[in-house]
Structure 1
Amino acid sequence: MSNQNQTEATVAPALDATSTILVVVASKSTSQSFKESDHSFTCPTNTIMTGRYHSGDENGQTMYEYATLKAVDSSGNTVPGTFTVGNSGWSAGQKESSSDFGAPVNQVITAREHKGDENGQTWYKTGQIYFNNRLCYIEAEPDDLSITVKESAGSWAKKDIPMIRRRHSGDENANTTYYFGKMVL
């Protein structure tokens, strides 16, 4: 085999308009633990939020799961390229005990900040995901992509796809529902 053929064998084939590219989690990490009543967490650059853990009341501990992304073809082979998360912004504050925040269309949650107890304010930061400067679309949250947990239970709500909505009503003894979205190129 000549050097030319060896080089050709190691170069990924060019993608045409009919190629299927899937966006999947490459690696996951967990944040440090924060006191819920006075914290702000922002995912590191070019990562997305995939989960949240909380135990106890407003003095309890909160952690987040975040992930990097990769693109794969329909055979599971990695497609070379770069993911970026951009065009981000913070939401207006919502009273935690009656909050229902959903990221704007084709955006995902990348940060959360909370001050106070269930009557305090919660803010979210969102962003758009790009692969090689191409926008990734986020499919809306069907019921099978949601998780409901008792807020104080000390349970993770996480999936291997981005968090796009969070709804909570009541104090720490009430339920919180998390919604996740599929990423599509």
Structure 2
Amino acid sequence: MYKKALPAALAAAALAALTLAPAAPAAAATGELIEVIHTYTETVKESNSSFMCPANEVMIGRAHYGDENGKTTYRCGRIYVNGEQASVELATTKTLRERDSYYAIAGDAAIIGRKHIGDENGYTTYYVGRMFWQGRTVRLATWQWDEYLIESNHSSRAGANRVMTGREHVGDENGLTRYEYSTLQLGAPSGPNR
């Protein structure tokens, strides 16, 4: 019995050490150091709202409480490569009916803003930006969806050095929402398709 308990105890200690260790900046495939730093937060009324991250920033989180008359909070961050801020340029927009919507960016870009009109039967527009550093494209390396959350009472934020690249919403304010976050790399081709 002691032999079984010891490996489990060691595994638990190793997991605790990993959990408590601070996240290090991501090293790109070409050796650059990429960091995403939270710099801006704003709260707006959900219905009939339009939000854009400040210039050269991307979305890294969203929270919402209540129905369409409730409050939505957006979190934005700056991307730094080797300590120098990357630029972000508006590339496209995508408008979907809010109820039962699914949006995941195709290509190397991140969500930089969101507009929502009405309730769950209204429409949501996503603003998408491409990221550049010294004339090179900042690309997506991995994509991961988080767990479903209740739309009317949730907060979601990207992990270290990740940016928001998708959102899915099912139903009304009592329905489910989840987000896709992606890590970044520079000067290497994008990872495999989702």
TM-score by length of 1: 0.79
- Structure 2 unmatched ranges of 5 or more: 1-28, 187-194
- Structure 1 unmatched ranges of 5 or more: 1-17, 72-78
Distance (whole Å) between structure 1 residues aligned to residue 118 and residue 30 of structure 2: 49
Distance (whole Å) between structure 2 residues aligned to residue 149 and residue 115 of structure 1: 21
Distance (whole Å) between structure 2 residues aligned to residue 106 and residue 19 of structure 1: 17
Distance (whole Å) between structure 2 residues aligned to residue 29 and residue 87 of structure 1: 18
One-letter identity of the residue aligned with 1:177: R
- Structure 2 counterpart SS, 1:109: strand
Q: Which of 37, 52, 56 is 2:66 aligned to?
A: 56
* Aligned equivalent of 1:139: 141
Do 1:129 and 1:135's aligned partners in 2 also have CA atoms closer than 8 Å? yes
1:139 is displaced (CA, Å) by 2.5
* Aligned equivalent of 2:156: 157
TM-score by length of 2: 0.75
- Structure 2 counterpart SS, 1:86: strand
User: Which 4+ residue blocks in structure 1 deviate beyond 6 angstroms?
Assistant: none
1:108 is displaced (CA, Å) by 0.6
* Aligned equivalent of 1:113: 115
Do 1:58 and 1:172's aligned partners in 2 also have CA atoms closer than 8 Å? yes
Report the aligned-residue RMSD. 1.6
One-letter identity of the residue aligned with 2:59: M
* Aligned equivalent of 1:38: 48
1:81 is displaced (CA, Å) by 3.5
Do 2:167 and 2:178's aligned partners in 1 also have CA atoms closer than 8 Å? yes
- Structure 1 counterpart SS, 2:51: strand
Distance (whole Å) between structure 2 residues aligned to residue 37 and residue 89 of structure 1: 22
Identity across matched positions, percent: 31
Q: Deviations over 1:7-40 (max 9, x none)?
A: xxxxxxxxxxx85113211343211x21111100
* Aligned equivalent of 1:88: 91
1:90 is displaced (CA, Å) by 1.4
**Number of residue equivalences:** 156
* Aligned equivalent of 1:26: 37
Distance (whole Å) between structure 1 residues aligned to residue 90 and residue 96 of structure 2: 21
Distance (whole Å) between structure 2 residues aligned to residue 139 and residue 121 of structure 1: 30
Distance (whole Å) between structure 1 residues aligned to residue 127 and residue 147 of structure 2: 20
Do 1:107 and 1:126's aligned partners in 2 also have CA atoms closer than 8 Å? yes
